[in-house]
Structure 1
Amino acid sequence: MTATTIADPRSFIRANTRLRPVPLVPEIAVFLADESLPLWQQTENELNEAGLPPPFWAFAWAGGQALARYVLDHPDTVRDRRVLDIASGSGLVGIAAMKAGAVGVTVSDIDAFAIAAAELNAEVNQVHLTSCGKDMLDTQPNDRWQTILAGDIFYERNTAARTFAFLANHARAGATILIGDPGRSFLPKAKLVRLTDYRVPVTRDLEDAEIKHTAVWTISPDSL
């Protein structure tokens, strides 16, 4: 079962989160949860299904905040470009790319709630996003994406390996790759170039601190 089994996923999101400015990116407001466990439990209750993934879409993760800030401050990375926001969660980074002048942004996430949240968040920020609910990591590079944005995706070994292979393949095909990450365990730093650093306010309920030192990276040409 997925969020599509709920008659109105957007009403569920509105009822269980609050529209708030993102701390590092106050130009953008998204629907955020106050705590993770109550929302997680409510999602399982709503779908009558245990073992669902955490509601990643309901939080402004450090990597996503840093990446959104970087895109807004460096609009040349996305301006007049076709952009993919991979594992988009709330859609924050994709929204930032549209506000920075992207010609079009696709947000991709395998969580149907994330897709609904991204679409809703785009509407309240008065931008349009194209959504994709399938796993993109096994797709082959093409000229469709000129910039690919990846925030907070290097948290698990297998996913990290697949993500880097996906990003590297697209970098070889000419795409600009930008990664936001607060030092997750499986971030392949030796294969990346650090572009800038941020101190990002986060929720202690999710992280081990109230401020996460977070970097924006790109892939090193030497690793391609």
Structure 2
Amino acid sequence: MLAPMTDQTALADLEREIAVPGGGPDGLRLIAAPFVPEVRLHLAEDAILWWARMEAALGRSLPPPYWASVWAGGQALARHLLDRPELVAGRRVLDLATGSGLVAIAAALAGADAVTANDIDPYALAAVTVNARANGVTLAVSGDDLLDGEADADLVLAGDVLYDAGLAARMLPFLRRAAARGVAVLVGDPDRGHLAGEGLETVASYPVPTTEPSVDSPVRRVQVLRPG
């Protein structure tokens, strides 16, 4: 359930977008994630164009639509869960900075007992809601900033959440605290440069098709990591 009023506004905006899908690169389309075709997501061919059009149409600033693209780290982590459902089966799962909800949806499809998708962007929570519907799964959503507290879960998932230094400086201590309390932690990261010396061990590595703009290679090597 989307409790804050701003979340309801965001959900109404996205539902209108989906009801009248755009035919060009600035519209949302329901498509299979390239590396995780079991999961379909409402994505923009060009998230920046979508962002500009929506801001103009709504007459207000919107947060960057990270949820409108499928990120390499999230794809690798989602693939890992679907290929190894024993990692989530029967567990309470928390997906941090969920974005489109890809990793949370994969956890639900793999048999998690309960999944909470967390993001501070109301439009990400709206995207999670419509994407969960499209995939026939039930997720709880949370718009709270959790990073100064403790994880209330059996398994914490973090797919491509270390994309800037400031976020990494808050995210990594949260993940370490969770692991120290016996919570399982998995991180999907395409080496964005914020993990040096963090003591994480690699449990899997995947060549993931990249859909990000301004990337030279069509494939990124992504590691799935856990605290050592």
Residue 129 of structure 2 aligns to a residue whose secondary structure is helix
- Once residues 113 and 187 of structure 2 are traced to their aligned partners in structure 1, the CA distance between those partners, rounded to angstroms, is 20
Match of 1:170 in 2: 178
Match of 1:18 in 2: 29
- Once residues 109 and 6 of structure 1 are traced to their aligned partners in structure 2, the CA distance between those partners, rounded to angstroms, is 13
Structure 2 unmatched runs, 5+: 22-26
Match of 1:113 in 2: 123
Are positions 1:8 and 2:12 aligned together? yes
Displacement of 1:43 in angstroms is 2.9
User: Are 1:3 and 1:47, in contact at CA under 8 Å, matched by a contact in 2?
Assistant: no
Residue 49 of structure 1 aligns to a residue whose secondary structure is coil
Identity, % of aligned positions: 42
* 1:135 to 1:47, Cα distance in 2 relative to 1, 3 A: farther
- Once residues 12 and 186 of structure 1 are traced to their aligned partners in structure 2, the CA distance between those partners, rounded to angstroms, is 38
Query: Normalising by the residue count of structure 1, what TM-score does the alignment of the two structures yield?
Result: 0.90
User: Are 2:69 and 2:212, in contact at CA under 8 Å, matched by a contact in 1?
Assistant: no
Displacement of 1:92 in angstroms is 0.5
* 1:175 to 1:48, Cα distance in 2 relative to 1, 3 A: same
User: Are 1:81 and 1:102, in contact at CA under 8 Å, matched by a contact in 2?
Assistant: yes
Displacement of 1:199 in angstroms is 0.8
Alignment length (residue pairs): 217
Matched AA of 1:174: G
Matched AA of 2:36: V
User: Are 2:108 and 2:115, in contact at CA under 8 Å, matched by a contact in 1?
Assistant: yes
CA deviation digits over 1:168-214, x for unaligned, max 9? 11111111100001111213454100111111112252534211111
From 85, 90, 101, the equivalent of 1:80 is 90
User: Are 1:77 and 1:176, in contact at CA under 8 Å, matched by a contact in 2?
Assistant: no
Residue 165 of structure 1 aligns to a residue whose secondary structure is helix
Query: Normalising by the residue count of structure 2, what TM-score does the alignment of the two structures yield?
Result: 0.89
Residue 70 of structure 1 aligns to a residue whose secondary structure is helix
User: Are 2:161 and 2:167, in contact at CA under 8 Å, matched by a contact in 1?
Assistant: yes
Structure 1 unmatched runs, 5+: none
Displacement of 1:53 in angstroms is 3.1
* 1:170 to 1:94, Cα distance in 2 relative to 1, 3 A: same
Provide the alpha-carbon RMSD of the alignment.
1.8
